[in-house]
Amino acid sequence: MANNDVENGEEVFVDAAEEVCGMDLSTAMEEARLACSYFFNNRFEEARALMRPWAHKSMYHGLGYGTFMYLQAIMTFDPKDIETAIETLKQSVEVCNRFRRKNTIGESLGKMVKKVDYNSFTKEEIHAELCYAECLLLRAVLTFMEDETLISFLKGGMKIRACYQSYKECWYILEGRDWSKDADKMHFESGVRMGVGAFNLMISQLPQKILKLLEFVGFSGNKSCQALGLSELERGFHLEGSLRRVLCALVLLGYHLIATYVLGTSEGDLEMAQTILDDHLKLYPNGAWFLFFAARLEYVKGNFDLAIEKYTTSLNSQNEWRQFHHLCYWELMWCCIMSAQFKEAEEYADKLLLESKWSKATYAYQKACCMCMRMDELTPAEKQELSETMKSIPGLKQRIAGKSLPVEKFAVKKSLRFFAQGETLCLSALELIYAWNGFKILAKKYENVEKIYSIIERELKRLEKIRVDNRSEYYYDDYLLAHLVKGSCLAYMNSPLQAEECFKFIVSNEKKIKEDTYLVPNALLELGLLLLRANDLEQSRIILEHAKNNYKGYSLESRLHFRVHATLNKISSLQKGSQSEGTNPMDSYPSISRSPSPCLSKTSGTTNGTGLHLKPTKNGKSISTNL
């Protein structure tokens, strides 16, 4: 091809690609559909075996095989698996690139002055563009995991930019091509809607602090990307029989059942999740993935016993992919923590610690937290095991993309604290529930939150009985933590004024905190949420902006920023109404710049401003009092 002149470049390129591949596009897509069916019916090795022989020649085989290797890498977190996946996806990108449209110099210049004729693209070229975007996105994620250097971060960022540009091109192809004689339109359309929808949804969840880091990648647009992302994914899901419909379903389930509860402050669309599950469990009745999400649906409804039953069914549905069992162990552990079955939760955390490579420091700390909740029941041997587990945590911390995981840094800090205060921790498992945004799920059933509330009350009474001269230097850290989780319970027990008092008490005692400085900004977040529920949007926004802008360097800071970002977006939506109608999804990437937020006035001389004067609420409720 290099020996031909520029004008023949495209024709020679296509002929060469056909000669190299030897498999027509329709057959490749049908085999990809069959591999997908194998995969979601737990026939993982058959799926890989179908894709492997043609992975170096066919774009859909390359994409399919690369995806399977990618999933294995992120499930095992084994450096060898990550390296294998990177090499596989590098080959997949090269295969897809072989089939992509190659513009002449004249055509490239012509794009600047006239509309592209997408009808001149072959079917191979348009599908190659889509497969290229998908492979590049997976490759970019693995690049961030590959090593710890700035170069790795920049490489990943540039791959995301290229991926974004390819999805834009695919969107223009979908909108600008005559599809009247193309029976395969739905396969292309479902991929475009899945990619564009997932991009919009992902970017909509990122706080401004992270978005600023992506400015160089070229993201821009408006704030309606969440609604547009969901809309595009739902349109892809409703394309019956399309190749990527199942992927649209998985992204929607992941968003509605996991992302909204871990990162956000809103509810997932559980009716939509149920619709997707009803549909796909007919297709894959024993499929581990959809059984897993069926269990997750029961979990977020607060049906912990039923969730345990369904997670166990998912776990037992296959033994070929042991790493999938670890996802189930993780969820089963949380079901047990949320229902105060701390011994059982400890056992699942121990399984993860022994078998999974994802985050051993986190697993060790979770195991230790569950043991701390049973301190009065522990035998001498178990107390020794608890001590040894806590000692091991600093040595288990790892680095990803040059950074320590925030949850691992938190675990290390708390493990050191365990020894500093006489080998004990206060309400450690309930602190984890708060850190993982679990009180919203607890609140789905009154009996669940009431059970946790009774544990908190017992601990508060114990703390209050300690004489002043016997209190440790961490006394107020523990006492204010108990107020944070108590207030979180009360907020969902129809007692907002009592909840408010708990959160205000934390803010007013900020100077007494020795180490757990995260308590104050989180108390402010909870006050902002109380105001939001009281429909005082402006006052809620002021407090949330203050929590975001005036507190730095505390544990799990990024988690608070995610939650604040989600809440501010909700307030903005309520104040201004949706702006999404008639908007092009490819123009909907979030705006990096935002107008400055008003600050709360400070009456104290402290850096964080604990003496805050808040404006009266619209209804004159007691939240208007000074903090």
DSSP string, 557-619: HHHHHHHHHHHHHHHHHHHH----TT--GGGBSPPS--PPPPPPEE-SSSSS--SEEPPPPTT
Cα 1 from Cα 155, distance rounded (Å): 28
| pLDDT tens per residue, range 394-423 | 999 987 655 678 899 999 999 999 999 999
Phi/psi of residue 532, nearest 5 degrees: -60, -45
Strands 403-404, 399-400: pairing is antiparallel
Cα 453 from Cα 448, distance rounded (Å): 9
Q: What's the confidence (pLDDT) of residue 5?
A: 36
Confidence label for 238 from pLDDT (cuts 50, 70 and 90): very high
Has residue 460 been placed in a domain? no
| pLDDT tens per residue, range 457-497 | 999 999 999 999 999 999 999 999 999 999 999 999 999 99
Residues 6+ apart with CB under 8 A from 230: 197, 201, 252, 255, 269
| pLDDT tens per residue, range 140-191 | 777 765 554 555 556 666 777 788 889 999 999 999 999 998 989 999 999 9
Q: Is the pLDDT of residue 228 over 90?
A: no
Q: What sections of 239-359 are H helices per DSSP?
A: 245-254, 260-262, 270-283, 288-300, 304-316, 322-338, 342-355
Confidence label for 588 from pLDDT (cuts 50, 70 and 90): very low
Q: Is the pLDDT of residue 7 over 60?
A: no
Q: Is the pLDDT of residue 625 over 50?
A: no
Q: What's the confidence (pLDDT) of residue 214?
A: 62
Amino acid identity, residue 161? Answer: R
CA end-to-end span of the chain: 73
Q: Is the pLDDT of residue 516 over 70?
A: yes
Has residue 112 been placed in a domain? yes
Q: Is the dihedral of CA 213, 216, 220, 226 positive or negative?
A: negative
Confidence label for 18 from pLDDT (cuts 50, 70 and 90): very low
Q: What's the confidence (pLDDT) of residue 616?
A: 40
Confidence label for 15 from pLDDT (cuts 50, 70 and 90): very low
Has residue 119 been placed in a domain? yes
Q: What's the confidence (pLDDT) of residue 45?
A: 94
Q: Give me the numbers of helices (H) and strands (E) for the chain, helices first please.
A: 29, 4
Which residue, chain included where needed, has tokens 């402010």? Answer: 524
Has residue 491 been placed in a domain? no
The arithmetic mean of pLDDT across residues 384-389, rounded, is: 97
What is the percent of the chain with per-residue pLDDT over 90, rounded to a whole number?
Answer: 65
Q: What's the confidence (pLDDT) of residue 152?
A: 57
The total number of structural domains in the chain stands at: 1
Has residue 532 been placed in a domain? no
Q: Is the pLDDT of residue 546 over 90?
A: yes
Has residue 325 been placed in a domain? no
DSSP state of 511: G
Helix (H) or strand (E) holding 403, with range, is: strand 403-404
Q: Give the chain's mean pLDDT.
A: 84
Confidence label for 591 from pLDDT (cuts 50, 70 and 90): very low
Cα 583 from Cα 540, distance rounded (Å): 29
Q: Is the pLDDT of residue 9 over 90?
A: no
Supply the pTM of this predicted model. 0.85
Which residue segment(s) compose the domain that 98 sits in? Answer: 1-176
| pLDDT tens per residue, range 351-377 | 999 999 889 999 999 999 999 999 999
The arithmetic mean of pLDDT across residues 98-112, rounded, is: 69
Confidence label for 589 from pLDDT (cuts 50, 70 and 90): very low
Residues 6+ apart with CB under 8 A from 625: 504, 614
Q: What's the confidence (pLDDT) of residue 59?
A: 96
The arithmetic mean of pLDDT across residues 104-130, rounded, is: 79
Cα 79 from Cα 141, distance rounded (Å): 14
| pLDDT tens per residue, range 37-66 | 999 999 999 999 999 999 999 999 999 999
Q: Give me the residues paired with residue 399 across strands.
A: 404
Cα 538 from Cα 547, distance rounded (Å): 14
Strands 612-613, 601-602: pairing is antiparallel
Q: What's the confidence (pLDDT) of residue 502?
A: 97
Confidence label for 601 from pLDDT (cuts 50, 70 and 90): very low
Phi/psi of residue 305, nearest 5 degrees: -65, -45
Cα 555 from Cα 413, distance rounded (Å): 9
Q: Give which of 313, 317, 284, 283 is closest to 296, Cα–Cα.
A: 313
The arithmetic mean of pLDDT across residues 510-528, rounded, is: 96
Has residue 4 been placed in a domain? yes
Has residue 590 been placed in a domain? no
